[in-house]
Amino acid sequence: MSKKILECVPNFSEGRDMNKIKQITSVIEQMEGVRLLDVDPGKATNRTVVTFAGDPDAVIEAAFRAVKKAAEVLDMRTHHGEHPRMGATDVCPLVPVSNITMEETVEYARKLAQRIGEELKIPVYCYEYAAFTDERRNLAVIRAGEYEGLKEKLSDPHWKPDFGPAAFNPVAGATAVGARDFLVAYNINLNTTSTRRANAVAFDVRERGRVKREGDSVTGKIVKDKDGNPVMIPGSLKSVKAIGWYIEEYGISQISMNLTNLSVTPLHIAFDEVCRRAEARGLRVTGSELVGLVPLKVMIEAGKYFLRKQKRSLGVPDSELIRIAVKTLGLNELYPFRPEEKIIEYVLAGKPKNRLIDRTLEDFMNETASESPAPGGGSVAAYIGALGTALGTMVANLSSHKRGWDDRWEEFSVWAEKGKEIQNRLLKLVDEDTAAFNRIMEAYGLPQKSDEEKENRTRAIQEATWHAMNIPFQVMETAYRALEVIGAMAEKGNPNSISDAGVGALAIRAAVEGAYMNVRINASGVKKEPDAKILLEKGGAIMDETQQVCGKIMKKVFEKLK
C-alpha cells in the first residue's frame, strides 16, 4: 500500500455522558477519507480516548472539527475525574502509520495547533516531536497544575502558549497537540498464575528496570542516591514500559507492555527478550495478545525477523509474512487474530470492490473474452508481467531454500524481495489500466451543449487520454526491471528451475511489447504532441532494450537446457 496514513488519538474530558461523546465522534465519522477505529470511554477517569486514521489532510480536518465540537458540548468548569487534564480536548497526538515521516507529522501537528489556537481561541501547547523547545516535549510538564492551575500558568510569560491566546478559556481550557511514535499495547502470556513472577520478568525487561536493594534482591534495603531517590537497575529493553498482572478471565498471568518507540524496540524483539528472560526464571511464554490495532509494517517486520532466523527467503507474500508472525508470536492463543480487523491499513481499506485481480483466473479470462472492451491489452500485459516476475521470484525463493546452498540464502532472498515488489506493482497496474480506459469513456460522456461544457469535455478527454498513455508506459518501466531478477536467476539460480526463468523472461517481453502497443494507440489521441513523442521515444527504447536483454537470457536458458 502506497497511501499516506496518519493516525490521531485525541483524549476528551468526558467519559460518562455517551450523548456528548457521540456528538464529538459523529463529526469524525462524517469526514470523508477518515475511519473511526475506536472509542474508549472511562467512567472513573471521566475521559474518552478516540482513535481514527486516514488521509493526513482529512485527519487534520476531522481533528479540528472534533476539538471544535468538544469545546461546544463540554464544560471544564464542571469536570472531575481521576486522570490529569487541562482541557475539553486534553491532548491530540498525531501518529505516523504508513508512508509518512515524523517530520511531515510534525508539520501537520503544528498546522492543526495553529488552527485550533487562531480559530477556536483555545491556548495550545505543542509537545513531544512537535514541541518548539525541549522543555515542552514532556506532556506531564505541560499539564502540571492541570485545569485548576491553568489561569495562573497562562499569566506567566514563560508559559505563553505556542498558538492561541495567552488568556484563560474557562469552558474549553487548553489543549496539547503533539506528534509521537506509534504506541503498541502488547501483552505476553506466561504459563503461571503468579503475578509476582510475571512482575519479575517485567522488571527484567522494562527500561525503568527495578529498584536496587542491598544484599537480598527481594527483602534487602532499598539503595538511594544522594538526593534520597531510589537507585534503579535498568531493564534490557529501551522504550518499553511493563508490569506483570493476573487475568482471571484467562486464568494466566501476563506481562503487560507499552512499546513506545518501535524503531528502538520492535514487537518481535520485545517478544524474544521476554521469552529469554522468562525461561531463565523457569517460566514459558505460551503466546501473546495485541491490544488495539497495529500498522502493517509491525507484522511484516516481525514475519521477516522470524524467517531470517530460520535462514528462509523474505521475498514471500505479505499474507505469508503475517501468518508467520501470528504463529510465532502466538497471537491466536486467547482468541483468533484476524488481520482484516487488527491491521490499520486493512481496516481502512475495507473489502476491495470489484477489482479484476480479486477474480479467479477463469473469471478474469471470461471477462477479457466478453464483448466489454475492458479489461483489454493494457491490463492483460500488466498481468502477464506480474506472472513473469512471479516466476523469477519463485526461482529465487527455491534457490534460497535449496539443499546445500544454505550459505547463499540471503543472496537469493534479496532477489526474491525485489521480485515481490515488482510483481505487486504490476498487479496494481492491472486495475489501473482498466480504470484509465473507463475514465476516457466517462470523459466522452460529459455534456457538450454550451461552449463551457464543450471546453470542459475536451479538457477531460485530453487528461484522461494522457493518463491512459502513461499507465501502460508504467507497465513497461516496471516489467523491464523484472529482467534483472530473472536474468540473475537464469545465471545462478536453482538449475532445476531454469525453464521457469525462461518462461518468466518471455512473459516480461510480451508484457513490455504489449504495453507499448497501448502507449502507441493512446498517443494518437493526445494533442500535446511533444509530450506524446517523448513518451513514445522512451517506450521504444525500453522495448528495444527488453528484446536485447530477453534474447541474452533465453540464450543462457537454452545453453543450460542442453
pLDDT digits (tens, 9 = 90+) for 208-240: 999 888 876 666 788 888 888 888 899 999 999
Q: Is the pLDDT of residue 551 over 90?
A: yes
Tens digits of residue pLDDT in 376-416: 999 999 999 999 999 999 999 999 999 999 899 999 999 99
CATH number of the domain that residue 417 is part of: 1.20.120.680
Give the DSSP letter of residue 231: P
Confidence of residue 291 (pLDDT cuts 50, 70, 90): confident
Q: How sure is the predictor about 417, in pLDDT bands with cuts at 50, 70 and 90?
A: very high
Q: Are both 233 and 263 inside the same structural domain?
A: yes
Q: How many domains does the chain have?
A: 3
CATH number at residue 225: 3.30.70.670
Same domain, 291 and 151: no
Last residue of a domain, one of 317, 349, 381: 349
**Which residue has cell 538449475?**
495
Distance of CA 212 to the CA centre of its chain: 40
175 shares its domain with 201? no
Q: Are the C-beta atoms of 85 and 71 separated by less than 8 Å?
A: no
> What does the pLDDT look like over 5-62, one tens digit per residue?
999 999 999 999 999 999 999 999 999 999 999 898 888 889 999 999 999 999 999 9
3-class DSSP assignment, residue 372: coil
At residue 214, the pLDDT reads 81
Let me know whether 307 and 425 are in one domain: no
Model-level pTM?
A: 0.83
Domain final position from 349, 373, 400: 349
What is residue 218's predicted lDDT score, i.e. its pLDDT? Answer: 66
Print the domain residue range for 539.
356-561
Q: Which residues are catalytic?
A: 83, 433
Question: What is the percentage of the chain residues whose pLDDT exceeds 70?
Answer: 99
In residues, how long is the chain? 562
Residues 390, 405 within the same domain: yes
Asked if pLDDT for residue 166 goes beyond 80, the answer is yes
516 vs 522: CA distance, rounded Å: 10
Same domain, 318 and 389: no
Q: Are residues 408 and 423 in the same domain?
A: yes
- What's the rounded Cα separation, in Å, for the pair 480 and 382? 11
Among 179, 206, 225, where does a domain finish? 179
Based on the fold, state whether residues 293 and 188 are members of the same structural domain.
Answer: yes
d(CA 254, CA 201): 10
Confidence grade of residue 174 (pLDDT, cut at 50, 70, 90): very high
- 366 and 502 share a domain? yes
Q: Is there a single domain that holds both residue 421 and residue 310?
A: no
Task: Say whether pLDDT at 1 is over 60.
Answer: no
Contacts of 89 (CB under 8 A, 6+ apart): 10, 11, 12, 13, 66, 67, 70, 71, 122, 172, 175
Q: Which one, of 65, 79, 67, 2, lies nearest residue 32 by Cα?
A: 65
Pairing status of strand 89-98 against strand 175-179: parallel
Domain holding 50: CATH number? Answer: 3.30.990.10
CA angle, residues 427, 433, 438, in degrees to nearest 5? 140
Helices (H) and strands (E) in the chain, counts: 17, 13
Grid cell listed for 473: 508506459
Claim to verify: residue 263 and residue 366 sit in the same structural domain: no
- Both 62 and 209 in a single domain? no
- The grid cell for 234 is 535498568
